[in-house]
Structure 1
Amino acid sequence: MSEGVHYSDYLQLEKILDAQAPESDKLNQPAHDEMLFIIIHQAYELWFKQLLYEVDSVAAIMRKPAVNDNSPELQTVVHRLSRVVSILKVLVQQIDIMETMTPMDFLDFRDMLRPASGFQSWQFKILEAKLGLKYQHRFGQEYYISQLRPAQVELIKQVEQERSFIELLNDWLERMPFLDEVKDFWNNYRNLYTTSLASAEAENKAFFDTVFADEAAGGDRRLSPRACRAALFIMLYRGYPILQLPFQLLNNLLEIDEQLSTWRYRHMSMVHRMIGTRIGTGGSTGRDYLKGALDKHYIFAEIARLTSFLIERRKLPALPADMERRLGFVGGA
């Protein structure tokens, strides 16, 4: 009879608990806080692995030719993206533990780490690429892969050739079945939106058209005008049962961007507190690089921008009776 699975064997605890080798110990200059520093970063990398696992799983679903908007598949996507958000919140909270280390504690071992740097976290770069942060949208492109090993560079380049999650999202939004039935709706909504603002109506219409008019396709945008129309429609009419899961999906993506931004801000603030304006151990500009990434690395900014085009619920155009019926659970498309 099998002895069954033992806790320590299942988790391979001997490998994990023996995976901390402080440089300060090797040099016979023990620095107490280096153990904390190592474990925090090992925990980050484990969470990055889980994030990649979740993102790959939802991308596989979104890659299908059709995803029913009222199906277990879409529920799975929403559930796993919610898990991604929860993990990112943990990453932010771990900085609280890191900040129990003072600048002097860090200086006890910092120079022993050169040229090691968090900038060499290839898993995090792959996560960003899988979500949709392309090379051309990055801050500090000259540093992006400069500190990585050739195999890691090749892996990242391979990922960047694949369709990212935001591209799969664009495809999914463009397939929304109701779009072709509400052509008159868009002209009506455009007029309602442009006349509801204090600025000149012509100026408002031009702004509206830069996002939603088919003529505005192309350029350096990640969501097509058609996909933007679908996303705004979901936001406006999210109260209908069949649009609730699509709205939760979009909302999770905004939360992912917010948590990534919060993590970058907290990281930047911690670095400034720890090393001031010094150059990072990996050769980056330290706080200045992190500030640039914070300002530029928004993956789902085009979804967030759509909130600029919302109007009061009481002013929303009424939908045709047949469409209202199909947006409910009974007879939903």
Structure 2
Amino acid sequence: MTSVSETEGADTGGEAVTGRWDGVDVNFGEEGGRLTYGSYLRLGLLLDQQRLESDPPAHDELLFITIHQVYELWFKQVLHELTASRDAMLSGELWLAQHLLRRVHTIERTLTQQVDILETMTPQDFGEFRHRLSPASGFQSVQFREIEFLSGAKDPSFVKRFRGLSEDEKVRLQRRLEEPTLWEAFLVVLEAAGFSVGSDEDLRKALQTVATDRAQYAATWELAEALLQHDELAAAWRARHVVMVERMIGTKPGTGGSSGAGYLRSRLDLRYYPHLWHLRSSL
């Protein structure tokens, strides 16, 4: 039973609380603390990373930097969860794979909602510092490419044509190109359930069986639905993103030299799991 015994300074006002919690020595409070909120989160370093390029400082540049840094933090978490979900599928832990994908879904909804915050910045406000960003571009987000590669949309040409990658980033992307994707892990799940997936026709029959006999293949079906939800939410983010870019800069080229909204629109039809989408036509 969880309990605290032999406490001192039972509450508080910042005083230390000491004792034992499930047999482990604990020491709560500022007086005896070895770790603080700020030191644990490394806030000194974190809050020093919003360095403005504009001079004099443009008011909305802090917002722009903060939003994109938060995106990268969420991308890191998404990669953490997707990698673990993939590994759970490969080891047969379908419940865990689905659980982690549900967490990713929630993060992906948050990523889309964050666009609303960015759109509180007007085109005029953005124009005050946009010229300072070139040739930097969201196109260069290595973590975003890792998410795409891991999800199933591997693109080796990205590594070859992007010259601004560090050696560490090249290694990371190459590793993602070589390791199993979420889709490849799902095929292992289907094979473990007794299905052949050696050809498109075999795969079509396997998915049709799973979809029409959900009582027997409930876990596999729910996992397929979780993958499709990930795909749908990623597509929703891309659609929301391109509209935001059009609202902000119209048809201007991107700061990294791309066609801007035109390039983003060319990515709207991307689907990680076309077999799961095609399945809908036969249900």
Could you tell me how far apart the structure 2 residues matched to 1:251 and 1:145 are?
Answer: 34
Q: What is residue 138 of structure 2 aligned with on the other side? A: 118
Distance in 2, Cα, partners of 1:149 & 1:293 = 25
Q: Deviation digits for residues 169-215 of structure 1, max 9, x if unmatched? A: 112212323x48xxxxxxxxxxxxxxxxxxxxxxxxxxxxxxx9x7x
Report 1:111-150 matches (<5 A): 111-135=131-155, 145-150=162-167
Q: Corresponding residue for 2:52?
A: 22
For the 8 Å contact 1:234–1:243, the answer to whether it is kept is yes
Corresponding residue of 1:220: none
Higher helix share: 1
Aligned with residue 203 of structure 2, among 215, 227, 233: 227
The secondary structure found in structure 1 opposite 2:101 is: helix
Q: What residue identity is the alignment partner of 1:161?
A: E
Q: Secondary structure at the match of 1:45?
A: helix
Q: Secondary structure at the match of 1:114?
A: coil
Alpha-carbon distance change, 108 to 48 in structure 1, aligned in 2, over 3 angstroms: same
- Letter of the 1:19 counterpart: Q
TM-score (normalizing by structure 2): 0.83
Shift of residue 151, structure 1, vs aligned partner: 3.2
Q: Who is 2:24 aligned against? A: none
Picking from 109, 119, 122, the partner of 2:129 is 109
Residue 282 of structure 1 is matched in structure 2 by 256
Q: Does 1:33 align with 2:60?
A: yes
1:268 and 1:291 in contact (8 A); partners too: yes
Distance in 1 separating the partners of 2:41 and 2:64: 22
| Unaligned residue ranges in structure 1 (runs of 5+) | 68-72, 181-211, 218-223, 311-333
Instruction: Indicate if the aligned counterparts of 2:98 and 2:223 stay in contact, CA closer than 8 A.
Output: yes
On the 8 A contact 2:159/2:170 being kept in 1, the answer is no
Amino acid at match of 2:239: Y
CA contact (8 A) 1:119 1:147 kept: no
**How far did 1:150 drift?**
4.1
Please name the residue that 1:303 is paired with.
276
Could you tell me whether the CA contact under 8 Å between 2:105 and 2:233 is conserved in 1? yes
1:244 is matched with 218
Cα distance, 1:155 vs structure 2 = 2.1
Percentage of pairs with the same residue:
40
Q: Is the 8 A contact 2:90 2:185 kept in 1?
A: yes
AA matched with 2:72:
E
Superposed, which structure 2 residues align to 1:183-194 within 5 Å? none
CA deviation vs aligned residue, 1:14-59 (integer Å, no higher than 9, x gap): 11111111111xx3x2211100000100110000000010011112
Check 1:227–1:176 CA distance in 2 against 1; reply closer, same or farther (3 A cut). farther
2:94 to 74, 94, 112: 74
Unaligned runs of 5+ in 2: 1-26
What is the alpha-carbon distance in structure 2 between the residues aligned to residue 288 and residue 142 of structure 1? Answer: 21
Q: CA offsets per residue over residues 138-185 of structure 1, 9 Å max, x none?
A: 8xx6996344334323321221011211111112212323x48xxxxx
Higher relative contact order (CA 8 A, sep 6+): 1
Counterpart in 2 of 1:10? 40
Secondary structure of 2:259 counterpart: coil
Question: Which amino acid is the alignment partner of residue 32 of structure 1?
Answer: H
| Alignment-mate amino acid for residue 191 of structure 2 | E
Pairs aligned (count): 253
CA 1:247–1:113 in 2, change beyond 3 Å: closer, same or farther?
A: same
1:98 matched to 2:114 = no
Report SS of the residue matched to 1:15: helix
Quick one: structure 1 residues 227 and 4, their matched pair in 2 at CA, closer, same or farther if it must change by over 3 Å?
farther
Which residue is equivalent to 1:153?
Answer: 170
- The answer to whether the Cα contact below 8 Å between 1:174 and 1:226 also exists between their aligned partners in 2 is no
Partner of 2:70: 43
